[in-house]
Amino acid sequence: MKLSKPVNVKRDKSRRTKDWFASITDDRAKLVIPIGPRFQADLPPCTPRFSKTDSTIVESESDTTKWLGTTSWPMGKHEDMKDDTVGKGRSEICECVSPGSIECVRQHVSEKKLQLQIELGPTFWKWKFDVMGEDVSKLWNLEEQKKFEYIVKVNATSQGGNFVKSALECFPIQSKESIVSYYLNVYIPRRISVRTRSGCKIVDTDDETEDMPCRKGSQMLSWECELGK
């Protein structure tokens, strides 16, 4: 009896992955779209009701609001709200000592955040604006922040690394949610700020290995994590 050759699982899996990827990128490949209740959504027929007095379409309140959820803000009518200035930026002249500096930007952001807190009231915390932006850094001391920067740099996701896993090992008291929050709210904005202020017109936020400009006399920090300490 002739024994069959052992199947190379890794090679077979790699071949199937390449075939699947080729079917996605190949414009000539015609994929079959299955039809049936398992593949298509069952949408009820649209039967709008017409007004008896005229030909206008009348929709019941339940049909128009049942998908909108519960309104958190604004509560009631706010006639003093102004939406014509959205997207136009700050209109007043900056009176800071160094306009455009990091301190200037932080000052204006802090002022607008306080204004937003007053306008939203309890909704400010309900929408978790209190855990957004630079304020997230207040939950991390200076040493932890420097260590985090080093961890991200040596475990760059652009090179297949996983900085979240390494950060969880180095910061056992931090959760995955807090680590990702610090990365998105503090690390990335700071990195973009440093690069743009150094004259870079194009900043790749996904490339953590890109060297940041350092101040004169500064050195690269090296950290070692002691697990269980």
pLDDT tens for 158-168 read 666 788 888 99
Task: Kindly tell me if the per-residue pLDDT of 64 is higher than 60.
Answer: no
Which of 5-9, 11-15, 45-49, 179-183 is the least confident region? 5-9
Closest CA to 167 of 129, 114, 208: 208
- Give the pLDDT confidence score for residue 65 in this predicted structure: 61
Task: Kindly tell me if the per-residue pLDDT of 143 is higher than 90.
Answer: yes
- Give the pLDDT confidence score for residue 228 in this predicted structure: 40
Rounded to an integer, the average pLDDT of 67-94 is: 66
Task: Kindly tell me if the per-residue pLDDT of 150 is higher than 80.
Answer: yes
Task: Kindly tell me if the per-residue pLDDT of 109 is higher than 90.
Answer: no
- Give the pLDDT confidence score for residue 226 in this predicted structure: 47
- Give the pLDDT confidence score for residue 179 in this predicted structure: 92
Give CA angle at 202 (154, 206), nearest 5°.
Answer: 30
- Give the pLDDT confidence score for residue 27 in this predicted structure: 55
Closest CA to 128 of 168, 74, 178: 178
Strands (E) in 113-159, as ranges, are: none
CA distances from 191 to 50, 89, 106, 174 (A): 57, 23, 15, 22
Average confidence score pLDDT of the chain: 72
